[in-house]
Amino acid sequence: MNRSRKYALSLLALALALLASPLAAGRLHGWELLGERAVSDALDHDVIPVTAAKGDFKSLKVVVRRHAVQFRDMKIHFGDGSVQDVELRAVIPAGGESRVIDVVGKDRVIRSVELTYDAQTLRGKKAHIRLFGKN
């Protein structure tokens, strides 16, 4: 095989591997997708509702796609009315993810997660935020 054909086949294999990855499929091993939002280029906040039917979670993480997002704050609202304030002050690049966020306490049914952020997009393009939970 000539060099350019080997290069093209290598790129094709890499693309197929990425498409078959759990992240591309919307699943991370052991993590459940709780919700997602498309966000624009302004300082904003969104609430991602989580139904009690999904159960309680011990850990959360945020995955960002398409454009970087600068997070300012995160609040986890529980079914019993309590709130856990999480210091999530980080820029997460497109394709990146937050650290694993530990949910404090036991038997914590999450009602919603409130995110305050500033998407790093231009001219109305949108970034995608995906919230995952792990039991």
Of 44 and 9, more confident: 44
- Is residue 24 scored above 60 in pLDDT? no
Say whether 5 sits in a helix, a strand or coil.
Answer: helix
The kind and range of the H/E element at 10 are helix 3-19
Strand 90-92 to 69-78 pairing: antiparallel
pLDDT digits (tens, 9 = 90+) for 110-121: 899 999 888 776
Task: Give CA separation, 53 vs 48, 49, 95, 103, 109, in Å.
Answer: 15, 12, 29, 18, 9
pLDDT digits (tens, 9 = 90+) for 40-97: 766 678 899 987 666 788 999 999 998 888 888 999 998 888 999 998 888 899 899 9
Of 108 and 23, more confident: 108
The radius of gyration of the chain's CA atoms, rounded to the nearest angstrom, is 18
Is the model's pTM score more than 0.75?
no
The one-letter code for the residue type at 32 is: E
Tell me what the mean pLDDT of segment 16-30 comes to.
Answer: 50
**31-134, CATH topology level:** Jelly Rolls (2.60.120)
Instruction: Write down the residue that tokens 């693309």 correspond to.
Output: 15
What's the pLDDT at 16? 43
Q: Which of 76, 78, 81 is nearest to 102 (CA)?
A: 76
What's the pLDDT at 121? 64
Of 36 and 125, more confident: 36
Tell me what the mean pLDDT of segment 25-53 comes to.
Answer: 78
Alpha-carbon gap, residue 46 to 35, rounded angstroms = 11
What is the spatial order of strands in the sheet that 32-39 belongs to?
Answer: 32-39, 127-134, 59-65, 101-102
What's the pLDDT at 26? 44
- Is residue 34 scored above 60 in pLDDT? yes
